[in-house]
Amino acid sequence: KAGVTQTPRYLIKTRGQQVTLSCSPISGHRSVSWYQQTPGQGLQFLFEYFSETQRNKGNFPGRFSGRQFSNSRSEMNVSTLELGDSALYLCASSLESGGAEDIQYFGAGTRLSVL
């Protein structure tokens, strides 16, 4: 079974631009969660999608958004990029429960640099 696939792996953008990151979960997994990891703040939860619906959201500004498609693939979008958005963005998939009672399987991440 293929693992969680994130594309692209690396991305360089400038301030003010927008970016879209993609995550393909493990086949059969319906929950996709997104996380941001920075040296200063560590790992932080962005949002979680299940059956095309956002089920949970972290404390991030509205510039961060996401969606999930009927095949469970998910995208996250960051608009009006700021220098502080430079981070490793990780997605994780699980069968049903997100982080509650399922093991999460992580992708390799997308490393975003904002110049």
Partner 1 sequence: KNEVEQSPQNLTAQEGEFITINCSYSVGISALHWLQQHPGGGIVSLFMLSSGKKKHGRLIATINIQEKHSSLHITASHPRDSAVYICAVPSGSRLTFGEGTQLTVNP
Selected range binding partner 1 among 16-24, 27-35, 62-70, 72-80, rule: CB under 8 A: 27-35
* Interacting span for partner 1 (CB under 8 A) from 16-24, 68-76, 78-86, 103-111: 103-111
With a CB cutoff of 8 Å and minimum separation 6, the contacts of 13 are: 19, 81, 112, 113, 114, 115
Interface with partner 1 (CB under 8 A), residue from 22, 58, 65, 75: 58
Give me the amino acid identity at 93: S
Q: Which of 58, 65, 72 is nearest to 21 (CA)?
A: 65
**Residue 85 near partner 1 by CB under 8 A:** no
